[in-house]
Amino acid sequence: MKTKSLILSAILLSLATLPAHAHTGIGTVHGLLDGLVHPLVGIDHLLVMLAVGLWAAMRGGKSSWLLPLAFLTAMGAGAGLSSLGITITAAETWVACSVVAAGVLVWRNTRMSSALAVALVAVFALAHGYVHALELTDSADALAYSAGFLLTTAVLHGLGLAVGLLAAARVKMLGAGLGLVCALVGVGVGLLVGV
């Protein structure tokens, strides 16, 4: 019964990916408040950020701070690339793939070297930062907006980390559930952006 409930929940959450293609300038972005809210309104962003925090907790040790720090740094770099007018081809596809990959990593509690884990997380974050910054208008305060989405991202990483640490006895079950949801949402996003 629990498996059926988990699958049903994952399918319902995957339906929330319909607005995921909204990273192409729908709405007006002005500053800090918009940046704080942006990671919370796209299920693709929300899931990856929670998954990175949970995976960091599952890995333990220095990964607890290294993975979130790598994500935040690369996310800022991705936003910088966008602000400089540098194009990342198929950024939405990279975001969709990051949701699937983060889901699999958490679901399988994938073991790998710290260097490879940091590199994967950085690739995810680069794409997410890039698409966040695509929302900026010419009149927007890019620095305040970036500070806002980086702060919310840090909070989401912290939430995933805290859940992983507080529910250590059930972390495999949490990882499996979040991983499945991420994989389904990532596939849904991928279908929407034409992967």
pLDDT of 80-108, one tens digit each? 999 899 999 989 889 988 998 998 898 88
What would the mean pLDDT of 140-145 be, rounded to a whole number?
88
Phi and psi angles of residue 140, each rounded to the nearest 5 degrees, phi first: -75, 155
Q: Which residues contact 27 (CB under 8 A, 6 or more apart)?
A: 135
Tell me what pLDDT residue 43 has: 87
Q: What is the pLDDT of residue 109?
A: 85
Work out the average pLDDT over 68-80.
96
Q: In whole angstroms, what separates CA 132 from the centre of its chain?
A: 11
Give the model's pLDDT for residue 11: 43
Share of the chain above pLDDT 70, in %: 80
| Residue 189 confidence (pLDDT) above 90 | no
Residue 14: its pLDDT value, please?
A: 46
**pLDDT tens figures, 39-62:** 898 888 999 999 999 999 989 999
pLDDT, residue 16, reads: 45
pLDDT above 90 coverage of the chain, percent: 39
Average pLDDT, the chain: 81
* Residues 6 or more apart in contact with residue 173 via CB below 8 angstroms: none
Q: What is the pTM for the complete model shown?
A: 0.78
Q: Is 189 left (phi over 0), alpha (psi -120 to 50) or beta?
A: alpha
**pLDDT score of 186 more than 90:** no
